[in-house]
Structure 1
Amino acid sequence: MPRKLPLLTAETTPFWQGGEHGVLNVYHCDACRHLFHPPAPLCPRCASSYVGAKPVSGRGKVVSFTINHQAWLPDLPVPYVVAIVELAEREGLRFVTNIVGGEVGDVHIGMPVRVKFEQQEDVWLPLFEADPERSAT
């Protein structure tokens, strides 16, 4: 499904193009070891500039979601799920994404999910789907 694509910058390219290799990258601070998202040139915890992309598991859980029934874009079929996913690597490491590949009514808080990339042009969008290998927590 067509989506508005992000602008690729030096900081964001590892995140948006990691999916080409099946890897979800988030930023990591070498000074304080903090994992963070979105990508930034300075660590939000210690302000160090020694930051860079680091691969993570791509597994997490749904911490909030909404089911959208409004057709905001003509080529984006409704309904669809917009969710906040917290990655398994660190409490609070969250980002907004879509849950795909199942019935929208099956999505729930605490649902285990794993990354599934969707390529559009030179961007690999990190979407998430139910993770059948893990049970809800």
Structure 2
Amino acid sequence: MSEAIKYGPAKLLPGDQLHITASADTEPFWEAAREQRLTACQCADCGHFRMPPTPVCPECSSFRKAWPTLPGTGTVFSFAICNRNPVTGEPYVYVPVVVDLDGAPGARLISNVTGCDADDVEIGMKVSVEWTPINEGWILPNFRKV
């Protein structure tokens, strides 16, 4: 029987290698992140949260949106352990996660986690947001184990 691989500390992807493209539907999210404020798209009519943001609410077909400030915490819904930098191909341990956002029922955000060994990440783990500067003056929300 083979021994399990030990990955070590989960790192964030280097900010200088990350770029975003904002659209009319996503720009309020990215502008809030610049202010280090976590938000999610919410229908201004029926209250349904949706991430990623879409032009029309899938529940009531409204075009009206709200962007409430969220607590900045959540729970890991899913994750993967990656051992290569996707840009350079060099060995680099990072953990992409899907986080259920507190204060926004049904909204999930894809991000990365740090503050623990990659081997310790688990579904149901509590996380809190931390902010990482990336290219063009944007700020990326990542998560840290609580």
- TM bucket, shorter chain: 0.7 to 0.9
1:3 matched to 2:55: no
Aligned partner of 1:134 in structure 2 is none
Q: Displaced runs of 4+ in structure 1, greater than 6 A?
A: none
Q: Could you tell me the percent identity over the aligned residues?
A: 32
Between the aligned partners of 2:35 and 2:108, the Cα distance in structure 1 is 22
Bigger share in strand = 1
Aligned partner of 1:88 in structure 2 is 102
Ranked by relative contact order (alpha carbons within 8 Å, sequence separation 6 or more), the top structure is 2
Q: Within 5 Å, which residues of 2 pair with 1:48-87?
A: 48-74=62-88, 78-87=92-101
CA RMSD of aligned residues (A): 1.9
Highest Rg: 1 or 2?
2
Would you say the 8 A contact 1:18–1:124 is kept in 2? no
1:76 deviates by 7.5
Unaligned stretches of 5+ in structure 2?
1-13
Aligned partner of 2:120 in structure 1 is 106
1:77 deviates by 5.9
- SS class of match (1:89): coil
TM-score (norm 2): 0.80
State how many pairs are aligned: 131
Aligned partner of 2:37 in structure 1 is 23
Once the two structures are superposed, residues 78-108 of structure 1 have per-residue CA deviations (whole angstroms, 9 ceiling, x without a partner) of: 1110111101124431121110232212211
Evaluate the alpha carbon distance shift between residue 77 and residue 57 of structure 1 in structure 2; reply closer, same or farther with a 3 A threshold.
farther
Tell me which amino acid in the other structure corresponds to 1:119.
P
